[in-house]
Amino acid sequence: MKINNSKKAFTLIEIMVVIIILGLLAAFVVPNVTGKSDEAKQKLVCVQMKSLNESLKMFRVDNGSYPTTEESLNALIANPDPDTYTTYSENGYIEGKKLPQDPWNRPYIYLNLEDKIELISLGSDGKEGGNGADKDQKLSECR
């Protein structure tokens, strides 16, 4: 009868080589993946603003003008002034009667500048100005 005392296991060097390989892969992959999240959020802002713009256009067709800045985007959910907007759609102009938030969970800013509208998202920092993910995005700059 032969007794085999050898144990099958990884050596310290083999484990270190695997850890080094995983570290190198992470160093190349992580920077590429993290930048894509901000880019996707910025694209989502334009998609949402274009959708809001279509709802605002329907409001204008029915009522003859865009909501005022004071009436805000809330005018797409409920008639802000039944005396002024007598042909307001009884279901509103947003499905689900809930305004979308930007990807950073803040409301879009709506401005009516003499019947020219602008929608703005303040970016990831929530402050005016900024660069990269912090940059303000405007409907007029979306393609």
The reply to whether 28 falls in a domain is: no
126-137 residue pLDDT tens:
889 888 778 899
The reply to whether 116 falls in a domain is: yes
Specify the number of domains making up the chain: 1
Q: pTM of the prediction?
A: 0.73
32-85 residue pLDDT tens:
666 667 788 888 999 999 999 999 999 999 999 999 999 999 999 999 999 999
The reply to whether 46 falls in a domain is: yes
The reply to whether 74 falls in a domain is: yes
- Better pLDDT: 142 or 111: 111
Q: What is the 3-state secondary structure (H, E, C) of the chain?
A: CCCCCCCCCCCHHHHHHHHHHHHHHHHHHHHHHHHHHHHHHHHHHHHHHHHHHHHHHHHHHHHCCCCCCCCCHHHHCCCCCCCCCCCCCCCCCCHHHCCCECCCCCECEEEEECCEEEEEECCCCCCCCCCHHHCCEEHHHCC
Q: Is the pLDDT of residue 101 over 80?
A: yes
Supply the pLDDT for residue 52: 94
The reply to whether 103 falls in a domain is: yes
What is the residue whose two structure tokens read 């990884």?
Answer: 10
Supply the pLDDT for residue 33: 63
The reply to whether 61 falls in a domain is: yes
State how far the Cα of 131 lies from the Cα of 15, in Å rounded to an integer.
42
Sequence-distant (≥ 6) Cβ neighbours of residue 84 within 8 angstroms: 63
% of the chain residues with pLDDT over 70: 90
The reply to whether 76 falls in a domain is: yes
Q: Give the domain extent around 119.
A: 38-141
The CATH number of residue 118's host domain is 3.30.700.10
The reply to whether 136 falls in a domain is: yes
